[in-house]
Amino acid sequence: QKEVEQNSGPLSVPEGAIASLNCTYSDRGSQSFFWYRQYSGKSPELIMSIYSNGDKEDGRFTAQLNKASQYVSLLIRDSQPSDSATYLCAVSAADSNYQLIWGAGTKLIIKP
Amino acid sequence: DAGVTQSPTHLIKTRGQHVTLRCSPISGHKSVSWYQQVLGQGPQFIFQYYEKEERGRGNFPDRFSARQFPNYSSELNVNALLLGDSALYLCACSLVPGYNTEAFFGQGTRLTVV
């Protein structure tokens, strides 16, 4: 059974601080890694994808991947109240036709 | 260019009834996947279609079925609805199933079974 684990939170972070979200996965064959943001009652919105070890930066967001440790993280710099949402980690692999396997999400609250 | 569109956005059905959910992918996106998301959980994979062929099926009963049309739009059908089928049903599309392919979601269909 392929699993993706996330701390459910809520994670409370002061406005302007760095929010750090973590995700671990069980399948060593996982090849593609995604972070989605989901506001309450809305559908997931892709914010970052990462495919190789290391860091990938896009604006205030940085995704970090460590395949040896089976660990992927998302850093949000200069957190804003609008970043308050549930962040979902998803992974995919060739042997499952790149179906997305999802974590349950971490609820992030940015306190003004 | 229009994003992924799903219809209807909200639906209330009675136990035992049948429901059809529809999805139109982004132009040029040939792969469509369906997910079920229960409140407080991550999405669960139901089906994947690519070029009108089923490429994957999740751990859902045979009451769930889907198909993809020549224009790459898709339908998800659920028969004999149960209360536990109440969820947000998400359609995601991608250009092709692949290593570096990103999936984009429609707004979802909120199904309530009473």
Q: What is the pLDDT of residue A17?
A: 98
Query: E strands along chain B, which residues?
Result: 5-7, 10-13, 19-24, 31-37, 44-50, 53-57, 64-68, 74-78, 87-94, 104-105, 109-113
**CB count in 10 Å sphere of residue A47:** 19
**Which residues from A are below 8 Å from B88, CB to CB?**
43
Q: How far, CA to CA in Å, does B86 sit from each of A39, A75, B6, B14, B48?
A: 19, 33, 17, 11, 21
Do A3 and A102 form a contact (C-beta atoms < 8 A)? no
A 54-93 residues with CB < 8 A to B: 88, 90
Establish if A104 touches chain B: CB-CB under 8 angstroms. yes
All residue ranges of chain B with pLDDT < 70 are 1
Q: What is the pLDDT of residue A74?
A: 98
Q: What is the pLDDT of residue B1?
A: 54
Residue B38 corresponds to which tokens in the numbers above? 């229960």
Establish if B45 touches chain A: CB-CB under 8 angstroms. yes
B42 vs B65: CA distance, rounded Å: 21
Q: What is the pLDDT of residue B52?
A: 92
CB pairs under 8 A between A and B: 63
Q: What angle do CA A7, A75, A67 make, to 5 degrees?
A: 70
DSSP-assigned beta bridge partners for residue A63: A56, A74
Which one, of A109, A92, A112, lies nearest residue A101 by Cα?
A: A92
Residue A26 DSSP symbol: S
Q: What is the pLDDT of residues A19-40, one digit of tens each?
A: 999 999 999 999 999 999 999 9
Do A50 and A72 form a contact (C-beta atoms < 8 A)? yes
Q: What is the pLDDT of residue A111?
A: 96
Q: What is the pLDDT of residue A2?
A: 84
What integer is the mean pLDDT of A4-22? 96
Mutation target vs A (from B23, B99, B111; most A CBs, 10 A cutoff): B99
What integer is the mean pLDDT of A96-110? 93
What integer is the mean pLDDT of A89-103? 89
